[in-house]
């Protein structure tokens, strides 16, 4: 026993004597000072290492970290280690056949066994482990054989109870506006990180429309392989829809990503699930794996571990070689051979997630040595001794270490440490710099010129582009494209640097495949087919009207026809010239990689026509009624007033974009108008559109054309109109209005009051004359125009924020919240008072900018010589006073 204590003391003293250190060179480091948000640090570090533990951690000021050995290997650096392959060494003490010890939550202990002689084979390894720990939602005890960071064995006992806090629906956000998709034999799948659990409750939101289909939940690994016996049948869904689930028994020993999928059989019936497009999504339509551009209401919920009790570790492991074979492989890899004359130690790391008492016994290691077969049955306490790393001074790149800056603009100090000892710190600037998005093509032919085009977003003009082709060639241009010929095949790193007019720059490296003509065509054709099939799969999950509109706008049928023609040419091509011409045809195709929803309203929201979109001349042509042009403003106000009194109009909006070469391009806007009469009307009213670009209606609404406008007679008290357009508009500037015939409009009294009108106009005239004397008048007009045209963009640079706020206010109003409560909650969410005030007024239809001087009215006064002296009364309707008009 005393010898054991002396051994422990010696190890501790030895570790203390061999002190670790690192040293920074005279030119110790260099990093770029200018970054965009979340960009990786660019630069290098000049460092030497002296007996530095191999498991040391490099960490930056944002808690991004990397293991020292991984960092050295990433740089292909030169270093030496105190052990073979730089793995940890161990010291074995306290020999026992039975090990009893206590571990608290999140503690671990390394136990092991060893050999002290040359062996020829290990035929079997078995042992038993016991614990008094109770049931838990966490795996109470896990075993890492060989202490390599991989969990090999854990509690696999399950009870029929789930852990609600372990429920995970991936990227799905229940607050986002969803669509309903039809379930069929093709699955909807979602990447979900499964918890460390002995089994799972798999489910989804499902609604039954008709029939009696069988709905199945399935599990796939991250490579897209279906896991056997990890599927279950869902209980029948309700007609109103809701979350339903079924259970599988499948042990996950370490939390990681899986694909959870749902599909139905071919029986008659219709069932729906909920989801939405999301560029940064984790779901897709089809079998794993595919491009993830959706999110579905699919979930997985970990089940509870039963009490641990006793676990017999046999020589046969699930999904692995025998334990004896694994031990033999470990010895050969760690020590170079099975010659253990100088001691071979095999570590077993016990990891605890709950307070518990653990017993290990019945160790039986059957092995063969030159004199015959023997059995080892003794455990040891092990002390880990990390390998020591030594190296001379060398520059190590920081570029791929995943050290990054903050997401907010401004100055801050970036620092890097090794084992909590600071290496350096430097102030960096996070600002708006050119963002390099993508480059095309990325597959080119050797010995044939290729035109490279780079896509960049920047607030300032890009004045210089530097193209480093990865082979020593460098070209500078003042445009975003360049022609270049790679002379040989291979893979090259093309580095593009963009410099803007403010002398701010950024760069990005792209991998370029330089191939023979036949290989370049084959790879490009394969990529085009994958892209178009992916887009078709995405489109097919949408409602039929969406499908038709997108297929028309993207020209899917035409693209497929062209690709079929190219495939025919490819099948008979025989020379490099043939393949070169085919590649030219392929590169001319504008094939989208995927489609995504880039803007959407989260719910139906109130719609009010904009006064600037009203057109009395078109209304006159439609209704056949005349109007007094001198009362134009009064008629426009009357249309707005009529809408408020008689119409409840709601709108839903969705912008769908396509991804081309990494760049997101809006391609289609879809609107759904829900129009309800507040009061029963016994006369016709019309919805009138500007003739929008590629306007397409879901069905025949009886639409007619008139003077560059399209109108629909609203003959029913309730009507829903769905349409799409490629014009760059959204629900805030949609150019349409609803109105009855002109003779049905009621002008306000102020439009007929001779004395009041005369007085008002002369006051305005006098004010104008007075204000013209001051230069401030001009300044105010400029400010007024800025507010009118730019103020909204100034407050909401990302228009999605505007949509979200309006949707939030709409939903809050439905819940009965008052304006003060809504304002208070928005302020707590760190919205600016100016933004809140603007949106609240816009929602209420009030003026959103500064007081607006009616320039049009002033100019009209100068043109008029006489003012009407009599009130004009509508021939068909009595004159009545109307309330003040709210405008949106």
Pick the CATH number of 160-304 from 3.30.450, 2.30.29, 2.60.120, 1.10.10: 2.60.120
Higher pLDDT, 743 or 831: 743
**What does DSSP say about strands 490-500 and 505-515: parallel, antiparallel, or unpaired?**
antiparallel
Statement: residue 27 has pLDDT above 70: yes
Phi-psi region of 561 (alpha: psi -120 to 50; beta: other; left: phi over 0): alpha
Is the predicted pLDDT of residue 255 greater than 60, yes or no? yes
Lowest mean pLDDT among 369-378, 595-604, 704-713, 860-869: 860-869
The mean pLDDT of 728-757, rounded to a whole number, is 78
566: pLDDT strictly greater than 90: yes
What are the counts of helices (DSSP H) followed by strands (DSSP E) for the chain? 15, 50
CATH class of this structure's domain 93-157+307-382:
mainly beta
pLDDT band at 2 (very low <50, low <70, confident <90, very high): very low
pLDDT digits (tens, 9 = 90+) for 48-66: 999 999 999 999 999 999 9
Give the mean pLDDT of 165-169. 94
More confident residue, 870 or 217: 217
> pLDDT-derived band of residue 780, with 50, 70 and 90 as boundaries?
low
pLDDT score recorded for residue 277: 83
8 Å CB contact between 405 and 37: yes
pLDDT tier for residue 829 given thresholds of 50, 70 and 90? low
- Same CATH topology for 160-304 and 435-588: the answer is no
pLDDT at 339 over 70: yes
Question: Which pLDDT value is given to residue 872?
Answer: 42
pLDDT of residue 538: 84
CA atoms of 556 and 806, how far apart (whole Å):
35
pLDDT number for residue 104: 95
- In sequence order, the 6+-apart residues with CB closer than 8 A to the CB of 642 are 739, 740, 744, 745, 746
The torsion defined by the Cα of 781, 783, 789 and 792, in degrees rounded to 10, comes to -150
Per-residue pLDDT tens for 629-669? Answer: 889 999 999 999 999 999 999 999 999 999 887 788 999 99
| 603, pLDDT greater than 60 | yes
pLDDT band with cut points at 50, 70 and 90 for residue 779 = low
Does position 787 have pLDDT exceeding 70, yes or no? no
Most confident of 501-515, 530-544, 783-797: 501-515
User: pLDDT grade, residue 852 (50/70/90)?
Assistant: low
- The pLDDT score that the predictor gives to residue 10 is 40
What integer is the mean pLDDT of 462-467?
96
Q: Name which residue leads in pLDDT, 234 or 853.
A: 234
> Is residue 114 a contact partner of residue 344, using CB atoms and an 8 Å limit?
yes
Query: How many residues are given for the chain?
Result: 888
**Structural domain boundaries of the chain?**
2-87+388-430, 93-157+307-382, 160-304, 435-588, 596-747, 754-863
Q: Is the pLDDT of residue 18 over 50?
A: no
pLDDT reported for residue 758: 52
Indicate the pLDDT class of residue 23, thresholds 50, 70 and 90.
confident
Alpha carbon 698 to chain centroid, angstroms: 30
What's the pLDDT score for residue 883?
40
Confidence (pLDDT) at 465 = 96
DSSP type of residue 881: -
Q: What is the mean pLDDT of residues 165-180?
A: 91
Q: Does residue 164 have a pLDDT over 80?
A: yes
State pLDDT tens for residues 265-309.
Answer: 988 899 999 998 887 889 999 899 887 889 999 999 999 999 999
pLDDT at 853 over 80: no
Cα gap 801→798, rounded to integer Å = 6
Q: What is the CATH number of domain 435-588?
A: 2.60.40.10
Return the pLDDT at 781.
62
* 298/775: higher pLDDT: 298
pLDDT of 862 above 70: no
Q: What would the pLDDT profile of 189-215 be if each residue is shown by its tens digit?
A: 999 999 999 999 999 999 999 999 999
Is residue 1 over pLDDT 50? no
pTM for the whole structure: 0.57
- Dihedrals φ, ψ of 296, to 5°? -125, 155
Beta bridge partners of 647: 677
Give the model's pLDDT for residue 175. 85
Burial letters 501-523, b for 16+ CB under 10 A, else e: eeebbbebebebbbbebbbbbbe
The pLDDT tens digits for 735-744 are 999 999 999 9
> Is residue 609 pLDDT above 50, yes or no?
yes
């Amino acid at each position: 026993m005393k010898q054991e204590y002396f051994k422990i003391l010696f190890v501790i003293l030895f570790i203390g004597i061999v002190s670790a250190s690192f040293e920074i060179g005279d030119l110790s480091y260099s990093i770029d000072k200018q970054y965009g948000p979340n960009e990786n640090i660019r630069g290098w570090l000049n460092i030497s290492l002296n007996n530095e533990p191999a498991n040391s951690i490099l960490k930056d000021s944002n808690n991004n970290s990397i293991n020292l050995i991984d960092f050295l290997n990433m740089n292909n650096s030169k270093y030496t280690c105190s052990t073979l392959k730089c793995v940890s060494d161990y010291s074995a003490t306290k020999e026992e056949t039975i090990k009893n010890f206590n571990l608290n939550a999140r503690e671990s202990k390394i136990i092991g066994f060893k050999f002290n002689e040359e062996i020829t084979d290990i035929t079997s390894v078995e042992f038993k482990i016991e614990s008094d720990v109770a049931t838990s939602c966490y795996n109470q005890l896990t075993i890492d054989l060989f202490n390599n960071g991989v969990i090999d064995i854990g509690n696999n006992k399950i009870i029929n109870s789930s852990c609600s806090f372990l429920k995970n629906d991936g990227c799905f956000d229940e607050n986002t506006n969803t669509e309903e998709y039809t379930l069929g034999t093709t699955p909807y799948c979602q990447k979900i990180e499964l918890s460390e659990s002995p089994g799972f409750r798999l489910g989804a939101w499902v609604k039954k429309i008709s029939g009696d289909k069988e709905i199945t939940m399935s599990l796939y690994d991250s490579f897209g392989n279906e896991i056997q016996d990890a599927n279950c049948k869902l209980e029948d869904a309700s007609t109103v829809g809701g979350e339903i689930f079924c259970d599988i028994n499948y042990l996950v020993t370490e939390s990681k990503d899986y694909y959870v999928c749902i599909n139905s059989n071919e029986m008659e019936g219709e069932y729906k699930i909920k989801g939405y497009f999301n560029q940064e999504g984790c779901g897709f339509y089809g079998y794993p794996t595919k491009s993830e551009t959706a999110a579905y209401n699919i979930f997985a919920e970990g089940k509870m571990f039963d009490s641990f009790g006793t676990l017999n570790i046999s020589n046969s492991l699930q999904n692995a070689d025998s334990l004896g074979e694994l031990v033999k492989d470990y010895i050969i890899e760690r020590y170079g051979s099975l010659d253990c004359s100088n001691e071979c130690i095999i570590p077993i790391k016990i990891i605890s997630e709950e307070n518990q008492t653990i017993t290990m016994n019945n160790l039986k290691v059957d092995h063969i040595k030159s004199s015959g077969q023997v059995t080892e049955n003794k455990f040891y306490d092990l002390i880990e001794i990390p390998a020591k790393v030594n190296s001379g001074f060398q520059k190590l790149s920081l570029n791929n270490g995943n050290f990054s800056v903050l997401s907010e603009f401004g100055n801050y100090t970036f620092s890097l440490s090794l084992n909590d000892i600071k290496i350096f710190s430097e102030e960096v600037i996070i600002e708006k710099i050119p963002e390099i998005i993508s480059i095309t093509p990325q597959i080119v032919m050797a010995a044939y010129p290729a035109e490279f085009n780079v896509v960049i977003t920047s607030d300032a003009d890009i004045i210089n582009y530097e193209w480093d082709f990865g082979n020593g060639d460098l070209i500078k241009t003042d445009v975003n494209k360049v022609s270049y010929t790679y002379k040989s095949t291979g893979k090259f790193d093309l580095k593009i640097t963009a410099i803007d007019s403010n002398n701010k720059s950024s760069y990005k490296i792209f991998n370029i495949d330089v191939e023979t003509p036949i290989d370049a065509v084959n790879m490009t054709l394969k990529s085009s087919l994958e892209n178009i099939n992916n887009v078709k799969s995405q489109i097919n999950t949408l409602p039929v009207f969406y499908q038709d509109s997108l297929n028309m706008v993207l020209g899917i049928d035409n693209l497929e026809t062209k690709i079929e023609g190219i495939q025919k040419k490819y099948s008979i091509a025989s020379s490099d010239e043939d393949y070169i011409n085919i590649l030219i045809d392929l590169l001319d195709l504008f094939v989208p990689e995927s489609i995504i929803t880039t803007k959407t309203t989260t719910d139906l929201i109130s719609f009010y026509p904009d006064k600037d979109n009203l057109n009395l001349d078109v209304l006159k042509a439609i209704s056949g009624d005349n109007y007094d042009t001198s009362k134009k403003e009064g008629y426009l106000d009357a249309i707005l007033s009529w809408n408020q009194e008689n119409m409840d109009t709601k709108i839903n909006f969705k912008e769908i974009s396509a991804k081309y070469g990494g760049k997101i391009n809006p391609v289609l806007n879809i609107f759904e108008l829900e129009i309800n009469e507040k009061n029963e009307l016994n006369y016709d009213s019309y919805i009138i559109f500007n003739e929008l670009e590629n306007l397409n209606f879901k069905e025949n609404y009886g639409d007619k054309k008139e003077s560059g406008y399209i109108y629909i007679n609203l003959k029913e008290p309730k009507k829903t109109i769905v349409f799409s357009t490629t014009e760059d508009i959204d629900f805030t500037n949609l150019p349409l209005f609803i109105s009855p015939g002109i003779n049905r409009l009621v002008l306000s009294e102020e439009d007929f009051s001779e004395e009041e009108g005369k007085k008002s106009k002369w006051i305005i005239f006098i004010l104008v004359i007075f204000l013209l004397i001051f230069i401030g008048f001009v300044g105010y007009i400029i400010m007024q125009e800025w507010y009118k045209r730019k103020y909204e963009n100034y407050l909401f640079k990302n228009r999605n924020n505007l949509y979200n706020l309006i949707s939030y206010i709409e939903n809050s109003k439905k819940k009965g919240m008052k304006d003060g409560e809504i304002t208070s909650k928005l302020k707590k969410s760190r919205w600016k008072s100016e933004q809140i005030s603007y949106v609240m007024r816009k929602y209420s239809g009030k003026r959103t900018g500064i007081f607006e001087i009616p320039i049009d009215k002033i100019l009209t006064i100068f043109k008029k010589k006489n003012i009407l002296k009599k009130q004009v009364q509508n021939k068909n309707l009595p004159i009545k006073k109307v309330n003040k008009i709210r405008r949106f």
